[in-house]
A and B are shown apart, each in its own frame.
Chain A
Amino acid sequence: MDHLSDVLTAISHPTRRAIIGQLAKGPARFSDVAAPFDTALNAVTKHLKLLERAGLIERRKQGREVFISFRPEPLREVAGWVKDYERFWTQHLDRFERYFADKNEKKAKGK
């Protein structure tokens, strides 16, 4: 997979987009990055690995602490149509997932 595909994969998941949004405010420790999410720590680690592979984050050691910071450069590569397609599929999948979630909710209420 080429680098642009890595970047598109990295930003295709809502959790990873939320991590980017959080780090865009400033560098943070791993524990701070993981705190807002209701997922297992190893899931957050996997998300960070994908972001790192895309060059969207970097880790820096400061004394005994490791800080993770956001690198915006790769996002500039993702422009125009390809980004439109990524958004197109993400929106479709959001609606598709919501359709089934609503259906399950109605079923549960009906019991």
Chain B
Amino acid sequence: MTIVPARTVEIRIERTIPAPRNEVFDAWLDPNIPGSPWHEHEELIVTAKAGGLWYWRSLGGTPHYGRFIEILAPARLRHSWMSPNTLGLETMVTVTFQSRGDGTLLTLLHSGLPADEPARAHEKGWNAIFGRFGNIFTGAADKGGCTP
């Protein structure tokens, strides 16, 4: 079941990286490079091609997964991004690499993130409902509270 939040937000971050863009592009997809989205993992699958799946369980144990939509070396890549924190929404990460002198302007756009408060209110509501629903089967007393 997907919880549709009242609205979504996007995060946009620009950063100038002191290296040529083909090198920066390749490093972004390399899980061995510090700062790559897939660096430091407990479990990892990265199939870097359009339609390819990625799955990354971070050191804290949070699962993240998605599919590559577009890999246009060395200019742009797009992939979906799901985790418990996106509340079932398929959020989208777009990274562009533009040459700037000897360096590269990296722009990261993470869109479709659930806006915090409405989404949380939804989740609280669903948790309360599912909590009670689960209690029917476990035989636990219904205290009517929400799971944290």
Contact = CB atoms under 8 A, between A and B. Distances in A.
Contact of A100 (B24, B108, B116): B24
Contacts of B34: 95-96, 98-99
Interface size class of B (residues with CB under 8 A): 20 to 34
Interface string A68-106: 000000000111111111100110111111111101100
Contact of A96 (B7, B36, B113): B36
A4 interface: yes
Q: Which of A78, A80, A89, A95 has the most CB of B within 10 A?
A: A89
B134 interface: no
Given A5-B9, A12-B11, A103-B19, A93 B108 contact: yes
Contact of B15 (A78, A97, A99): A97
Contacts of A85: 11, 85, 110, 113
* Interface of chain B: mostly helix, strand, loop or mixed: mixed
A23 interface: no
A103 B10 CA distance: 32
A104 B7 CA distance: 43
A9 interface: yes
Contacts of B115: 4, 82
Smallest CB-CB A-B distances: 4 pairs: A96-B35, A95-B35, A80-B116, A95-B34
Interface of A: 1-2, 4-5, 8-9, 12-13, 77-86, 89-90, 92-101, 103-104
